[in-house]
Structure 1
């Protein structure tokens, strides 16, 4: 989830567990909220790995700082830092409970997204993702914000917080139901095409709980569609036509990309299924793309990408094969974390046109990165 939502969730659980009649040694409410909110943001301190390089960060983000087994140690460190910051007015043990809660709710918040966190670190680097919510979900943020604000303004704050948490749980239940409906669409697609053992995935998308990206893995290929679960085809088409801006202007410039993104998701009967993979669909480019993807320079990219696909091939020179991970590719918008594996020949013939295998001359492979639609890359 985004940092603001993490902050709200940490403060909210700290407020929910505040004692009704605090003892003399208990933290004041404002310090308790601060400790919970700070702890809920803390796991993303692994952002510092961006100073090394982006792929190092991508491969270790949501790693050890997000591991339940290490939670007690991280909470103790935060509690000690908070105690030092308080000038010794409060013992570290007073901060420990809110710190534990803040880190725990951060782990839950990231677990429901599609990125995947190292739930069993440091014992394993295996990643787990529930694929329920997009990384920015305004409904979750709004519920948390309303619950926190109302809990601080009214005497029945504890019950308000509990209600907000119950609403979040109900909303996650709604997302789970939508996910199952999306998976059923993908399974129906695989069955209609006689796929023997497909793996069907439904990834949450922005702007609506009805928006999902379906990925069906079969025989080394990815079959991809962007669907709007529960939408009526006529309703979507009429809404898309009505949403076209009458004329260009500042508002259209801001809302236009969002409108186009919203209407890229179609009802199941009108879903635009595309077949993609790391080799692409052009036979003339396939050998080069496969060779580029297999290069040692792309090892960290291969480790990071869960659903890698070829985005484009540039003949060069240098010749480049551009790859993206479908988890970070939204329809109508430039994808995030877009990387190219490029070959710069030093005397080989057919500059930029070979397949990258032995006999192409002295070829040097390099990795390049392009900016996407958001600040994260």
Structure 2
């Protein structure tokens, strides 16, 4: 989930959990504004691991949503945030001990972790003891409806400064919205299971992932052996929509993306192969895939497929992508590859962001 939505959710939770008898003059108690500010900052804190992007993108995706998103380390991170804010408060006319910040900081970090778990990226809840990435893929990473519910709750609280009802109602509506997305997820999985049954695919697994623009947009992935069958569907529409060729810019892009999600009755299933379609592609892709320096991407990619093989006079480059991060009408994101010089040279990561054009 995007960092701004995380931060706003922390402010919302901080306001909702304020005591009804909260008084700013109570000794050692934060004002409502300070309380919401702490929630905002704490809920944004776990995404501090974005600094890993300065190393390279592969390092970032390997460790993103790791130790800063760990429920095991949550008490420590809450203390760290509280300690920093306590020291900063000493620069003002009203200093607070770190204990005044700790509970709100823990709530903020906790709601951030919960918000990430319901997306498809995966969150290492048990880091550093386990790198297993937990995911309940109900919500797309950027969901304007999810964010909008939070914003409405916060704005409404301005007009009810002494009451918690607007923010509590927003949290309840948010929970109902995620529950509704869970129902849509089950429906998408049922469509995939029907496809498996109709095509008699043995030992196939069905997965469904939320998509942008609408909670009714879903990607269904049926995996069997090293092959995938993928469909992008809209669970609400009964007729296809077409993108206007006359439109350009942001509106035209939105229309093109929306048109890529078809009604269930006209869903288009596309086949992808993890290691390519030909024997030559497969041999080279397998060799590149097994390289130790590519272990980070192997761990990260849930549905990896060969993107392309590019041949140069003195080198060959092989790139892979993850089907979770393909959106209709947009260039694939998080594409990573390796290159080898000559027929028997050693493999190295393709670090040039322009090599495949989508790193």
Would you say same fold, with TM above 0.5? yes
For the pair 1:43 / 2:49, whether they are aligned, the reply is no
Distance 1:122 1:343 in 2: 33
User: How does 1:1-377 map onto structure 2 within 5 Å?
Assistant: 1-22=1-22, 23-87=26-90, 89-155=95-161, 157-232=163-238, 235-236=239-240, 239-240=241-242, 243-245=243-245, 247=246, 252-317=248-313, 318-345=315-342, 360=343, 362-368=344-350
State the number of aligned residues: 349
2:309 aligns to what SS in structure 1? Answer: strand
Give runs of ≥4 in structure 1 deviating > 3 Å.
369-372
Distance 1:370 1:337, change over 3 A: farther
How far off is 1:296 after superposition?
2.7
Distance 2:76 2:295 in 1: 32
Output the aligned Cα RMSD: 1.8
Distance 2:305 2:220 in 1: 14
Distance 2:199 2:61 in 1: 35
- Residue deviations 1:228-264 (CA, integer Å, cap 9, x gap): 11321xx22xx32xx414x36xxx2222221111110
Distance 1:284 1:259 in 2: 38
81-90 or 315-324, larger mean C-alpha shift: 315-324
Is the contact made by 2:58 and 2:336 (CA closer than 8 Å) also made in structure 1? no
Is the contact made by 1:324 and 1:335 (CA closer than 8 Å) also made in structure 2? yes
- Residue deviations 1:9-40 (CA, integer Å, cap 9, x gap): 00000000112223332101111111111000
2:142 aligns to what SS in structure 1? Answer: coil
Is the contact made by 2:20 and 2:163 (CA closer than 8 Å) also made in structure 1? no
Distance 1:123 1:364 in 2: 32
How far off is 1:297 after superposition?
3.0
Distance 2:254 2:64 in 1: 28
148-157 or 103-112, larger mean C-alpha shift: 148-157
- Residue deviations 1:181-212 (CA, integer Å, cap 9, x gap): 10001111111121222111101110011111
Distance 2:296 2:40 in 1: 33
Q: Which runs of 5+ in 2 are unaligned?
A: none
How far off is 1:175 after superposition?
0.4
Distance 1:287 1:299, change over 3 A: same
How far off is 1:371 after superposition?
5.5
- Residue deviations 1:143-194 (CA, integer Å, cap 9, x gap): 0011011112224540000110111011111101110010001111111121
Distance 1:165 1:308 in 2: 36
Q: Which runs of 5+ in 1 are unaligned?
A: 346-359
How far off is 1:276 after superposition?
1.3
Distance 2:197 2:155 in 1: 49
Distance 1:257 1:281 in 2: 31
1:163 aligns to what SS in structure 2? Answer: helix
Structure 1 length as normaliser, TM-score?
0.88
- Residue deviations 1:309-364 (CA, integer Å, cap 9, x gap): 1112222232222211112221211111111222211xxxxxxxxxxxxxx4x323
